[in-house]
Structures are given as structure tokens and as C-alpha cells.
Amino acid sequence: MNITTVQERGLALIRVYGDLNDFLLPGRRETWFERPCKGHETIKNLIETCGVPHPEIGALIVGGHPVTFDYPVQPGDMIEVFPITMASASPVALRPPLDEPRFVLDTHLGRLAAYLRMLGYDSLYWNDAHDAELARLAGEERRILLTRDRELLKRSIVVYGSFVREVIPARQIVEVMRRFDLTPTSTVFQRCMRCNSLTMAVEKADIEHLLEPRTRLYFDTFRRCIVCGKIYWQGSHYTRMATLLEHAIRLK
């Protein structure tokens, strides 16, 4: 690898690490590859043209020194790109830290949104949401965008986000819990599965007229959404979901 020759040809050399290789063409994975540069392109844009969405990047190293997303790439640069999971000790932060993880999810991740709500996490989801609205919410409300759409994740307004690799919801929740180091919150099973709002304990006598006969007969403890009014109790569905989340927590 002759750096002088690379520089004379107007190229930069790039090496991507960890699971960021998932976004590259097969011939570029786990190896150095060349990329044309003219000296006026930011490193953020250059790496995204290779396929890697910027929210997935945890650290950028050029010639052994950490840089930020606005670094202008020069011919001859040797660029190393690390995922967030391998960048905890980087001296240069690419984005400010989040006080608490809050999410917004694309239309392909409805079941994952429900699982996050069960764990107590504020998770916005609509099955008819447009990409522009999802990106706006992620940027303006400092939410983590979870998506199966790589191009959506590349939108400049998105600061925090992750491409969800798993396709089975029970595996998706394990993936997201590992990625963001999630544990059950103090509001576990206290968020509405329908609208994401918090629920509150309610007296059975106050809602008895709204219950099905068997529910009225066999259950005495209830919660009700403070916004949409949906009623919850610990029936068989609750038991199945609790078992699923306990399994996810063990795997995390």
C-alpha cells in the first residue's frame, strides 16, 4: 500500500470495522479499500456514500488521530471507521450523549415498538408514518430512530439511530437491548401498547361496566391509559409477554 501513489491518484483509503461491514459491498468488507476524494468532501458524506449510515458510526480515525464528522477528507488519508460498540474510549465524541433513551420506530417495527413500551420506554410508532416525519421526530426530540431502511437512517437531521438487523421481533428486542444497554425501567408494563402513554391503576368498580363477563369474573386488578382509555389486566397475554421479556433480558 503506497500512500504517495494513493495521494497522487486523488484517493483516500478506508477500513471499516465490526458490524459496520454489514453495510459494505462484499469486496470491501474487513479490508482496506480506495475511494476517490477531491479535498472538499466531509468524512461523514464520504463514508455514507460507501453505504454506512452516520448514526451507526462511533468513532472516526484519520492517520491515527480521531476526527469529527465535518473533517474534510484529503487525498492520501487513511480512514478507520468504528461502530458505536467499539468506540467507548474514543476521545472525540461524534454526538452529544443522551440523558435517557427514547425511541421512534419505522412502519416495519410495530411489534418491536410494543416490546419497548412493555419495558417502559417511550417509543413512538404509527403504521402509516412517513419517513420525513420519523426523521423530524428523531432530530427535534432527540429520539433514537430504529429502522429497517438504511436511507432513512442517513438523513442529516437524524443524530441517534440504528439499523435493526434481525427480522424476528423476539430477536429484535434482544438486539436493541444489547445495542443500547437497556434494562426494564420503573414503568415496566405501565405504558399503553396502543398509544405509548402511561397507564394508571384504576378501581375495578370504576370500569366494571366496560369489562367482558369473564374478565369481570376472574380479575380484580386493572390499569387504564390516561390518554386513550384502554384497560389492562394481567391475563394470559400479559403472562406470555412477561415470559418473552424475561427471556430477552437473560439473553442480553
pLDDT tens column, 163-178: 999 999 999 999 999 9
Condensed to tens digits (0 to 9), the pLDDT of residues 38-80 reads 778 999 999 999 999 999 999 999 999 999 999 999 999 999 9
C-alpha 171/C-alpha 168 separation (Å) is: 5
Residue with C-alpha cell 467499539?
A: 86
φ and ψ at residue 240, rounded to 5 degrees: -65, -45
pTM equals 0.92
Biggest CA–CA distance in the chain, Å, is: 81
Question: Mean pLDDT, the chain, as a whole number?
Answer: 93
Cβ burial, residue 86 (10 Å; 0-12/13-18/19+): middle
pLDDT of residue 249: 87
Pairing of strands 199-202, 222-225: antiparallel
Nearest to 129 by CA among 109, 143, 144: 109
Q: Which ranges of 107-212 would DSSP assign to H, the alpha helix? A: 110-118, 131-140, 150-153, 169-180, 204-207
Q: State how far the alpha carbon of 202 is from the alpha carbons of 100, 207, 230, in Å.
A: 28, 8, 11
* 78-83/57-62 β-pairing: antiparallel
Report, as ranges of residue numbers, the positions in the chain whose pLDDT lies below 70: 1-2, 88-89
| Contact in structure between 72 and 90 (CB atoms under 8 Å) | no
Per-residue burial over 206-240, b = 16 or more CB atoms within 10 Å of its CB, e = otherwise: ebeeeeeeeeeeeeeebbbbeeeeeebbeeeeeee
> Which of helix, strand or coil describes residue 100?
coil
Q: Which helix (H) or strand (E) holds 88?
A: none
Pull the grid cell for residue 172: 429484535
Name every residue whose Cβ is closer than 8 Å to that of residue 229 and which is 6 or more positions away in sequence.
none
